[in-house]
Amino acid sequence: MVLSRAWSLTIAVLWMAASPASAAIYDQYSDLPAGREYDFVIAGGGTAGLAIADRLSTNSSFRVLVLEAGTSSVGVFNITVPYFSTRPSLQFDWNLTTTVQSGLGDRITFFPRGFILGGSSSVNGMFYTRGSAADFDRFAAVTGDEGWSWDSIQQYLALNENLVPPATNPNTHGEFDPAVHFTNGTVDVSLPSFPQSIDSKVLQAGDELGGSFSFNLDVNSGLPLGLGWLPRTIDSQGRRSSSATAYLGYAAKNNLDVLVNARVARVTPTSHSKNSASGLSFRTVEFSQDITNSTFFQVTATKEVIICGGVVGSPQILLNSGIGNSTTLLAAGIPPLVDLPSVGQNLSDQAFIANAFLANTTDTYDDINRNDTVSNEDLTTWLGESGQPGDVQGAGPLGDTFANQISYHRVSDELIEKYGDFSAGVTSPHLEIYPGNGFFIVPPPTGFYMSMTTVVVSPASRGSITINGSDPFAPPLIDPAYLTADFDIAAMKEAIAMVYRFFNASVWDGYILAPPEGLPSLSEFFTLNATDLDLQLETYIRNSTGTSAHPVGTVAMSAVNASYGVVDPDLRVKGVNGLRVVDASVFPFVTCSHTQVPVYVFAERAAKLIAAYWQEV
């Protein structure tokens, strides 16, 4: 789609007005204030990094520097429009791929990761899902730290969430439970603003079927099972609310600096420490602003370095620093300094399929991403310039993300008896299904679709991330090991069977014309021989599965005295001083949700832990 110059300028102005940066944002290291010392250096300005930076900088005695590998998000208006998240923005992505995946028919898959200030919160689908209470209680049990329990993290949800009215939907009664939400936090959250044509059908089907599709007033209550409305991180004017827009804030701070285009290579020992098992303190960060040459800069934190590089970047930085499995490091040509074999292990991601069914309608979102005339009309509406009475900013389909409802399900008892239960508990789901009024991402040239996305949110498969030699900027070897555990493929088969049962509700009569290629028709699904159906499903799943972009676990936290894990419950790297990791890589298990909200929770608590420690020292 081509935007006119007038529209480009208008959106740029709206974006700048929405997110004036509190921090000074610099493009070049030489532009940083001369001679300035920093108490905290944060390696990564993504979802967690900017939240921590903002919270620490509220103490005027702390000086904070953020090093972000990507570009600044200020003035980048395409990421402001929520529905444009369905359009690939490769210039804002690391463009990484996996190794060959045996569970996916030896395919290599895309592995998205935000390459822009705000990280993945600047480019994700904006789903606001917290996970189950059992997810956080399991974190507490595994680490021996009650501070990670569901009851304990409510204070951090309150710091993060600012529930606001959606742009054009003044009545959200019956779509959420006000008692479980917060209205004084930092990140704007809203219910759906623009009605999809399938909304009433989805809810009617849930009412008709009941069971696992029974209505859940609020999937964010800690008990997510069932079908409910889907909140998203979108403000009251229909704009994305990200870590960058929310935590960089409005009030200027002279103690917070952000340097973009700064790719961290490693952390290095600054001094010896009597208080760490290795005898080392890691407080110096080495980074480059041009990876095509050998020019590196160094900056040293007087208090701590906080790595927020994400599930890929954080283990990569640690390994390049000599922190990891000593045998692996020696093989890569890196002198081992701290033997932590768990670095890069325990990679867990949620297998994902966007199942697109051909629908008997023309009232879908498909033309937004394939017809410039429709897209431009919708953009005019979103800008509030359509000339209609009551025009408001954020109106129309572009002010929303691609799903209005979401449902969570447990697998059958038969599957659990056969393979075990990989969820956090009996009130926690294994599967997620959400409907979308159109083809996910870029639709085919013709046809109108309804998507039923299926996700295995409590997977058994575990993979790894490791470096590919001694070049700190070489793309790492990413092996999520999708569908290598028998439970995951069996669970995805049950998810697809649930979709067919959902479409068997009478409200869908005549609505679905054809299934995705490789799947049987609605009538055939229930009449096929069980063996033939199972084989057809397995072939389809292995050929269609990709990432949900929810990887976790590669720098997992564990109990203080555990023989495994990488960070302690306070997120300090085991055996060293001056170094913490805060992002999704520290989750020992993936939450049953989209991971954005749990990352914010970890960042909020980490900031409290860090500030409290240094105020006591």
Catalytic residues, which ones?
550, 594
Separation CA 498–CA 562 (nearest Å)? 40
Q: Give the burial class of 73: count Cβ atoms within 10 A of its Cβ; 0-12 exposed, 13-18 middle, 19 or more buried.
A: buried
CA angle 486, 487, 489 (to 5 degrees): 70
- DSSP class of residue 98? P
Alpha-carbon distances, residue 474 vs 45, 197, 292, 502 (angstroms): 20, 46, 11, 45
3-state secondary structure of 30: helix
Separation CA 403–CA 453 (nearest Å)? 10
First vs last C-alpha separation in the chain? 55
E strand or H helix at 615: helix 596-616
Cβ(286)–Cβ(267) under 8 Å?
yes
- DSSP class of residue 139? H
3-state secondary structure of 134: helix
Separation CA 135–CA 148 (nearest Å)? 10
Cβ(599)–Cβ(606) under 8 Å?
no
- Count Cα neighbours of 579 within 13 Å in the Cβ-side half-sphere: 32
3-state secondary structure of 406: strand
Q: Give the burial class of 97: count Cβ atoms within 10 A of its Cβ; 0-12 exposed, 13-18 middle, 19 or more buried.
A: exposed
Adjacent-strand bridge partners of 348: 552
Adjacent-strand bridge partners of 339: 324
Q: Give the burial class of 480: count Cβ atoms within 10 A of its Cβ; 0-12 exposed, 13-18 middle, 19 or more buried.
A: buried
Cβ(341)–Cβ(479) under 8 Å?
no
Binding residues: 264
> Please, where are the H alpha helices in 357-435?
372-383, 413-419
Separation CA 491–CA 482 (nearest Å)? 13
Q: Which of 428, 446, 355 is nearest to 592 (CA)?
A: 428
Cβ(504)–Cβ(522) under 8 Å?
yes
Binding residues for FAD: 264
